[in-house]
Structure 1
Amino acid sequence: LTTLSDPIMFTNRRSLSEPDLPDVVMRHSPTLRAANPAIKLEEELKVARILVPKYSGDANKEMISSETWSSIFLQKMQKMRSSFDQCYAQAALLELLTGQAFECLQSADFDTVDAMVEHLCSTFKRPHFQLALIKRMQSGEAFIGCTRDNVIMRLKHILRELGDHIGGLVSLAQATEMMFPTEWHLQKVDSQNLSTEQYQGALLAIAEDLAIHHDVAPKLFGKAKATEGKASMAQPDVAKPAKNTGVADGGPSHSQRRKAARKKREKALEEENAKLKQQVAANKSASHMGKD
């Protein structure tokens, strides 16, 4: 007997043909929706877009290296990689890349996500990124947008990206000294000759000063100071909207950047839906045979 809880009979008053059944069950059965691979895949992709930043490979703009980005991607996509085929994670990876990084991978053929990540890291090498980051620190560009609330996090992040680069540590210490001259002087640390542990200790002391003394703030310099001056003179409520030219930074258009990823993803979703319909039809057939 049919009951009021039947998701098929009381969803639509018209009679349902055989091809309609899987779609109706999908829309109105919470249990099957939760187990639907296509829906679960879409949820994983949404999470990836939120948790994993876009990456362009441009060392003059990025604040993270290709290795750091790859590590974040592999960690956040671990669940998807264990639950779905390689093609889904590959499509997600392409969707999160822009500019040079996207061009580097879109035309090549890789069997696995690991191969794509390895190629990305070998193309956009960490030493090249570190050198560009050091130059941006020296010019002040690396500290654009820093305030007393986020400057310590920015300095810690740069320290992690520099790793054991001695020249990078010296440049970072000198930049910190320029932004916090009084607080740095109290630590009695030589910015031209120090260890990572000494820098971390000085940074911790500066963080404590920021938490206790509200008048302590970073003194931005170079390009960061120039940007800060322009921002203070600007009126935020009359900002002009950016022109939509369809081309990002001289690179491929928005549709071109996502074409390969969307194509792979749509094909994969169609395959999953086809498999699901076959499964529902098989279950229905088996159910009728059991009744007979």
Structure 2
Amino acid sequence: MGTEAQPVASTSKGKESADVLMAGNLSKYSTEVPKATQTQIIAPKASELLDAFKTNIGEFSGNAKKDKQSCANWITKIMSWRHGALIRVFEQLVTVAVQDLLRGDAKDTFKGKMFEMLDSLVSALQITFPLVIYQQQLMDLIRSGEAFKGITRYNFGYVTKQYIDDFQELPVGLTMLADAIQKMFLVEWKIINRRTATITVEELTAAVVRLNEMFLVDPV
């Protein structure tokens, strides 16, 4: 009878051995590329989306002269992004981004307050900065001429369209805005040939679009 071979301990000394494949291992011994987690893939995209959102929405201070739009108008833009480009972004990230855009009185009002849900922050903003108060402030600014200070031919259409949006349920505000524009641009308004009394949102919007087209044409 032959004797059974006994197991012999061996070492890798003097021999080359293949590395063991270890999926996901970040060590030098792994020959597979680690797979990024879902969080790692989404995070950069979410960050880019939030940056674009903040740039597009702009800041809100609660000051009618600075903002040139109501809180209601600002919130409409926020929710449009939330239900569109930001629909898959974690809600608390969106809420924090909105709070980061608060300035002046708005920032002071909500300083130290935490909102886990975007709807809670939006509701608080609407209560604190109601549309009716902004409309009164905007009419005062139009009367004094302050509403159009700092506006150039390049942002005239954008800013005026925001004013129209905030007056869409207030005919007296639309008429006042139309009168102010007519006085500033008498010649151009005659070309457009629009009435100012009982002017509608659609008519005033069309007039502003036409004026904006005129302003963007450089003189020869």
Normalising by structure 2, we get a TM-score of 0.70
Q: How many pairs were matched up? A: 196
- 2:119 maps to what in 1? 114
Give the Å deviation of 1:94.
Answer: 1.8
Matched, 1:126 2:144: no
User: Which residue of structure 2 lines up, in the alignment, with residue 280 of structure 1?
Assistant: none
The answer to whether the Cα contact below 8 Å between 1:66 and 1:121 also exists between their aligned partners in 2 is: yes
Structure-to-structure mapping, 1:213-228, within 5 angstroms: 214=219
Aligned equivalent of 1:105:
110
Q: 183-192 or 114-123: which moved more?
A: 183-192
Instruction: Give percent identity, aligned residues only.
Output: 24
Cα distance change, pair 76–167 in 1 and its aligned pair in 2 (3 A):
same
Quick check: 122-131 or 204-213, which moved more? Answer: 204-213
* 1:104/1:120 contact within 8 Å kept: no
Q: 1:196: how far off?
A: 3.2
Match of 2:36 among 14, 32, 37: 32
Higher RCO (CA 8 Å, separation ≥ 6 residues): 1
Q: 1:195 to 1:95 in 2, by over 3 A?
A: closer
* Distance in 1 between residues matched to 2:93 and 2:158, nearest whole Å: 33
For 1:127 and 1:81, the matched residues in 2 are separated by 30
Matched residues in 2 for 1:94 and 1:169: separation?
31
Q: Secondary structure at the match of 2:110?
A: helix
1:169 pairs with 2:187: no
Identify unmatched segments of 5+ residues in structure 2: 1-18
1:183 equivalent among 185, 188, 207: 188
Q: CA deviation at 1:38?
A: 5.1
CA-CA distance at 1:118 after TM superposition: 0.8
Which structure 1 residue ranges, 5 or more long, are not aligned?
A: 16-27, 216-292
1:32/1:182 CA distance change after superposition, 3 Å: same
Q: Secondary structure at the match of 2:74?
A: helix
Name the Cα RMSD after superposition.
3.3
Q: Is the 8 A contact 2:95 2:116 kept in 1?
A: no
Greater Rg by CA: 2
The answer to whether the 8 A contact 1:56-1:101 is kept is yes
**In the superposition, relative to structure 1, how do residues 120 and 135 fare at CA in structure 2: closer, same or farther (>3 Å)?**
same
